Chain A
């Protein structure tokens, strides 16, 4: 009996220690300065300088964290990440290359719910957050918001004595492309008026953004005019033909950087790529940026784009460090780092615009970047997005390679979407 109280005291003391242990590990890292190795999935590090820039800046601000990138080939990125996640991979931060893949991973429950985390962020300053809303929940935060513009080679325009493509229509674009197709580069390669990369978005997302068509609807009549334009350009020799671009796996960057094309519709992610190529001495292209050509002159610029985001793996080993990284990368500090290397951050402020020094200094390039515009999501997100994407991709290939007429391709795409997906 005498020993009873002391035994109670011992139990109480022991449980207090246990509780203390619990609470300290439950509320954030036990020791915030303990060394952490954070793994982040990324693609083509040498051609996508934003990753290393963000990693270096974050490591400088958090000396205890070492970031270990998990580099994946850009073309294989969605499949590779899907395979990794299916295998229970523990990479902490996952970069969401596009919203379609994001929806796929999030619907599978492979991403950590960040709804509470997002509520603490200055969401009014982050563009492109809305597509990441799945039933009121967020599992990723965008750090960059790209949109499509028209890149052009100033030297080729000057040589042809043509005005720069300032707010032009598609008809004017086509005319310019044909006039600019002449001669060869110093290496003896043909110079084209424009280059349409093989992605279906170059035709289909443009059409959807500018006509208001829905790429998930199964009614694809709104693609027709844009296909007619693209086919006319390649048939007249003003654009490299799709078959060659596809089978030779043509790199759009080298097309533009070596002066093989005078114009090229492409996303703003390429600004950083050109900057890196010029600084690295592999290209001496004099370039400028104009808004996407429009169907009719005079209206507000309509283009398409897609945000790129960071998410936390459901199986992440270092959740707190991962969240801290996302807070940094998607906030003002990260945005200035991104703007500094020519990447369009999702976070917008005057300081960020001032830091964006990669843009050519001419007014047209600046206006392209800062003017009010309508940026439509490249591909709407739903459960059937990836199935429809596959079908549209296959039919796009057939139309562009001249294996099907525009009308047949549009009809078959619609039939397949309606019969097999919707």
Chain B
């Protein structure tokens, strides 16, 4: 859509259209607007207004038991001075850098595996999707048990294959984040696998046949037919996965609660703690703004890259 807009503009006749025509062309626009109006109203009331309000709030000091007071950049100064903010910012980036590529690779791999005729295909597709519909608290608690440093199956397996000093996982500052990432990839892979499967169905089989006739091997067919054919899906998955990664909250709260120490504390958690527990709405809004800019920044960069690739 975006890339075709300039072409349309060029084709438009240079002289202004007749007035009757303009009135007629207004109508479809109005019809279109009326269709999206109910959804837009909901979005505006419940998302857009609170977001703009949150932006203003980050320049105020306001707790639920007092009147808001304009404090300028004080919340931001306080945020930048707080070592926990920097740690949470780093942890959020760390989590995203691990979670996004791993989830995409694993879910694409699963989709490729399950995109063929195979006995028990439905069973496997369901099995891989199940983690996504399982209660997150249950997932986190069970992964905690698996990761138990002393008696957990993960370390027992590692010791069995010869690792003499397996990591302490969630009780170690260095390994807690990898443990959380593994659990989250396991949980999310089924959902993105379904998206990739849908994308794979849209690639015409003629292209594969033609590639095969031209003598392309499996890797070349994947590289030159599957990946380009999946590009819209990949882009969508990438955006969804990025947004979900940066706002991770629930899994971390249940699995490690930000610990040990501050080793897995992420921005959403800090926002919750400052906003809800300590009642510092202004400071929490300032941190939210940073998170928003981070997510928006990454998304815009991905859109730009995508457009350049299409041109």
Binding site for B on A (CB under 8 A): 78-79, 82-83, 85-87, 108-110, 241-244, 246-249, 386-387, 390, 394-395, 397-398, 401, 403-404, 416, 419-420
A189 to B260 CA separation, bound complex (whole angstroms): 26
Q: How many A-B residue pairs have CB under 8 A?
A: 79
| A420 vs B148: C-alpha distance when bound (angstroms) | 34
Produce 1/0 per residue, B136-174, CB < 8 A to A: 000001001101111000000000000000001111110
Asked whether B81 lies within 8 Å of A246 as measured between CB atoms, the reply is no
Cβ-defined contact, A246 with B259, below 8 A: yes
A86, B170: Cβ atoms closer than 8 Å: no
7 residue pairs, one from A and one from B, having the closest CB atoms:
A243-B171, A86-B64, A398-B261, A108-B65, A403-B173, A401-B260, A394-B261
- From the candidates A82, A386, A403, A419, name the one contacting B276 in the complex (CB within 8 A): A82
| Inter-chain pairs besides A86-B64, A397-B259, A420-B81, 5 sampled, C-beta below 8 Å | A108-B64, A243-B168, A247-B170, A390-B273, A394-B262
Cα(A108)–Cα(B280), bound, Å: 12
> Does B83 belong to the interface (CB within 8 Å)?
yes
Q: Does B278 contact A (CB under 8 A)?
A: yes
Given contacts A397-B259, A397-B260, A397-B261, contact A244 B171 (CB under 8 A): yes
Interface centre among A110, A241, A248, A398 (most CB of B within 10 A): A248
B residues with a Cβ closer than 8 A to A are 63-66, 81-83, 141, 144-145, 147-150, 168-173, 259-263, 273, 276-279
B63 with A248: CB separation less than 8 A: no
CA distance A85 to B171 in the complex (A): 34
Given contacts A247-B171, A403-B172, contact A416 B83 (CB under 8 A): yes
* Cα separation A416 to B85 with both chains bound (whole Å): 13
- A79 CB, nearest partner CB in chain B, Å: 5
Q: For A78, what are the chain B residues with a Cβ–Cβ distance below 8 Å?
A: 277
Structural contact, B277 and A247, CB atoms closer than 8 A:
no
- Select A109's contact among B65, B171, B173, B276, beta carbons within 8 Å: B65
Main secondary structure of the interface of B (DSSP, over half): loop
A248–B171 Cα distance when bound, in Å, is 10
Whether B277 and A246, one on each chain, are in contact in the complex, defined by CB atoms closer than 8 angstroms, is no
A-B contact pairs, 23 of them (CB 8 A): A79-B277, A83-B276, A86-B279, A108-B63, A108-B64, A242-B171, A243-B172, A244-B171, A247-B147, A247-B149, A248-B145, A248-B148, A387-B278, A394-B261, A397-B259, A398-B260, A398-B261, A401-B171, A401-B260, A403-B173, A404-B261, A420-B81, A420-B83
The complex places the Cα of A420 from the Cα of B283 at a distance, in Å, of 14
Q: Are A394 and B259 in contact (CB under 8 A)?
A: yes
* Given contacts A247-B148, A398-B173, A420-B82, A403 and B277 within 8 Å (CB-CB): no
**Smallest distance from the beta carbon of A320 to chain B beta carbons, Å?**
24
Enumerate chain B residues within 8 angstroms of A248, measured Cβ to Cβ. Answer: 144-145, 148
B150 touches A403 (CB 8 A): no
Least Cβ–Cβ distance between A120 and chain B, in angstroms: 27
**What's the least CB distance linking B148 to chain A, in Å?**
6
- Residues of chain A within 8 A (CB-CB) of B168 are 243, 401
Task: Kindly state the separation between the CA atoms of A123 and B197 in the bound complex, as whole angstroms.
Answer: 72
Task: Knowing A394-B261, A397-B261 are in contact, say whether A244-B150 is a contact too (CB < 8 A).
Answer: yes
**Cα distance, A83 to B150, chains bound together (Å):** 37
Cross-interface CB contact of B149 among A87, A243, A416, cutoff 8 Å: A243
Chain B residues in 8 Å Cβ range of A79: 276-277
Smallest Cβ distance from A255 to chain B, in angstroms?
A: 16
CB contacts (< 8 Å) of B278 on chain A: these are 386-387
Residue of A nearest to B82 (CB): A420
Report the minimum CB–CB distance from B119 to chain A (whole Å): 40
Q: How many Å from the CB of A399 to the closest CB on chain B?
A: 9
CB distance from B176 to the nearest CB of A (A): 9
Residues in B whose Cβ lies below 8 Å from that of A247: 144, 147-149, 169-171
User: A244's closest neighbor in chain B, by CB?
Assistant: B150
In the complex, residue of chain A having the shortest beta-carbon distance to the beta carbon of B256 = A247
The answer to whether B147 touches A110, judged by C-beta atoms less than 8 angstroms apart, is no
Closest chain-A Cβ to B143's Cβ sits at a distance in Å of 10
Question: In the complex the two chains form, is B65's CB within 8 Å of A110's CB?
Answer: yes
Alpha-carbon separation in the docked complex, A110 to B279 (Å): 12
Distance between Cα atoms of A126 and B82 in the complex (Å): 41
Chain B residues within 8 Å of A108, by CB: 63-66, 279
**B147 — which chain A residues lie within 8 A by C-beta?**
247
Tell me the bound Cα distance from A186 to B81 in angstroms: 54
Q: Which of A82, A83, A403, A419 contacts B261 (CB 8 A)?
A: A403
CA of A242 to CA of B278, assembled, Å:
27
Residues of B within 8 A of A397 (CB): 259-261
List the A residue with the shortest CB-CB distance to B152: A247
CA distance A416 to B141 in the complex (A): 31
Cα A390 to Cα B169 with chains together (Å):
23
- Return A418 CB to nearest CB of chain B, in Å: 12
> Which of A242, A386, A395, A403 is packed against the most chain B CB atoms within 10 Å?
A403
Would you call A244 and B83 a contact (CB within 8 A)? Answer: no
Looking at the assembled complex, report how far the CB atom of A397 sits from the nearest CB atom of chain B, in whole angstroms. 5
Chain B nearest CB from A16 CB (Å) reads 40
Q: How far is the CB of B81 from chain A (nearest CB, A)?
A: 7
Given contacts A244-B150, A248-B144, contact A403 B260 (CB under 8 A): yes
**B83 contacts which chain A residues (CB < 8 A)?**
416, 419-420
Q: Give chain B residues whose Cβ lies under 8 Å from the Cβ of A110.
A: 65
Which of B82, B144, B261 is the most central at the interface, judged by chain A CB atoms within 10 Å of its CB? Answer: B261
Q: Which residues of A contact B260 (CB under 8 A)?
A: 243, 246, 397-398, 401, 403
Q: How far is the CA of A398 from the CA of B262 in the complex (A)?
A: 9
> Provided the pairs A247-B144, A401-B172 are in contact, do residues A82 and B259 lie with their beta carbons within 8 angstroms?
no
Docked Cα-Cα span, A87 to B173, in Å, equals 36
Q: Are B171 and A246 in contact (CB under 8 A)?
A: yes
